[in-house]
Structure 1
Amino acid sequence: MDTAAFVEAVEDGNRTELSRLGSSKSLYALTGGEMDADHIYAVVAALAGAQADRFETWADEADGELADALSAAAETERDRASEAAGETDESVEGGLFDGLDDCDGAVERAGGFVAATIVTKKLQEQLVGFFVGQADPTTAQTFRSYGDELGERREAALAALEAVCADESDREVAVEAAGGVITAAYEVYVDRLEAMGVNPKPVC
């Protein structure tokens, strides 16, 4: 299983979850139904901060390409969390990336790292759409640039994954870990919508 096959396996195994996380309901769920710029920035701050915390810890415990990729991602997310927090006085509940806590060891963490990047890319696309809808092209472009960075991050994460996987068994472990991260994120999405009386299933 090469890196392309790995991504295909993760996306095929979690197609419904990723489709719904990439729908217009995702930001609605994460903001608690408060679809304004202040709450959107609060979401960005919460999600970026959570990833920065986790990736920093993992980087300290990793070696080689995985440590380098995690350190770069942590720095980017820490900066993004700080910038977003400076735009709002609101706060939102986190938890979308709690599935990363279940990843143990280099192989699982590399798989979880890729999965977090895939989920974040889905949300980034919705952020662009939100600010386009708000007639704020400057901020929309900022989040488009974030998408470019996420593409580069995924390539670095996949290269790191290839470096830590010794055999096909390791790759299967990484696929399972990635699926766990996506499933945990999807469960947050479902729980938040159901708590507001919204059906999470239809994609829109």
Structure 2
Amino acid sequence: MDGTTFRESVEASKRTELDRLGSSKLLIALTGARIERPRVLEVAAHSEHAARETFRAWAADESHPDARAAFEAVAAQEDEHLDRVLDALDGDVDLADGGPMHAYLRGREDTVERVASGMVGRPLVSIRAHNQLIGFFVNEADEVGANLFRDLKTETAAVVDDGVALLDELCGDDADWERAEMVAEYVIQVAYDDYADSLTEMGLGVKDIC
């Protein structure tokens, strides 16, 4: 297997979950059905903050130099993303850290697993969220907000490319690729289960609306 095949395999295996995460109902789940500009931006800020903290923690104890440099770069990018989202907010926000997906990510100690889950699985989920954020601001006739999240989506998509390239360097045999595939798929599943649970709590059936 190589990086390109790996990404294709992960996306094919989790196509249903990724498609449903790309549903217009995602913002309902993320905001608790409070789909209004301040709440949408708060949710985005929480996400950027959690990602920054995950990659900062990984960079602090990662022994592989190329992986450490990659984690530092993603942490810096997420820090910049957070600043840009906070600039768009009117007023302060108490940043929440964590959530099921980041709890799972922070439990990864192996370099291959960190790259596969954090730089491939996680941003494949984030891209779907960015699509919905772009759509929200387009519907609000807020081109500045839409362009903000278009930029963030482009930069997040580049993380997947970097992650795939790094896995090409790190994975020495089939066992490495299988482990990478397992964790990348699982982090998507964790994000999907959290999404589905949120909708269920609001009395919405995932299959009925996606």
Coarse TM-score class (shorter-chain normalised): over 0.9
Amino acid paired to 1:65: D
User: Matched residue of 2:206: which SS?
Assistant: coil
Alpha carbons of structure 1 residues 154 and 38: separation in structure 2 relative to 1, 3 Å:
same
Q: Which amino acid aligns with 1:165?
A: C
Identity of aligned residues (%): 35
Contact 2:81 / 2:152 at 8 angstroms: preserved in 1?
Answer: no
* Alpha-carbon separation, structure 2, partners of 1:148 and 1:167: 31
Distance 1:141 1:96 in 2: 29
> Is contact 2:48–2:78 with CA below 8 Å preserved after alignment?
yes
- Does the CA contact (< 8 Å) of 1:65 and 1:159 recur in 2? no
Partner of 1:111: 116
Pairwise CA distance, 1:10: 0.8
Q: Number of residues paired by the alignment?
A: 204
Write the distance in 1 (CA, Å) between the matches of 2:4 and 2:150: 23
* Alignment counterpart, residue 100 of structure 1, candidates 99, 105, 117: 105
Length-normalised TM-score, structure 1: 0.92
The structure 2 residue matched to 1:175, chosen from 176, 181, 184, is 181
1:1-204 → structure 2 map (5 Å cutoff)? 1-62=1-62, 63-86=64-87, 87-88=89-90, 89=92, 95=99, 97-98=101-102, 99-113=104-118, 114-202=120-208, 204=210
- Aligned-residue Cα RMSD (Å) equals 1.8
| Cα deviation 1:128-161 (Å, max 9, x = unaligned) | 1110000001211111111221222111111122
Q: Is the 8 A contact 1:6 1:171 kept in 2?
A: yes
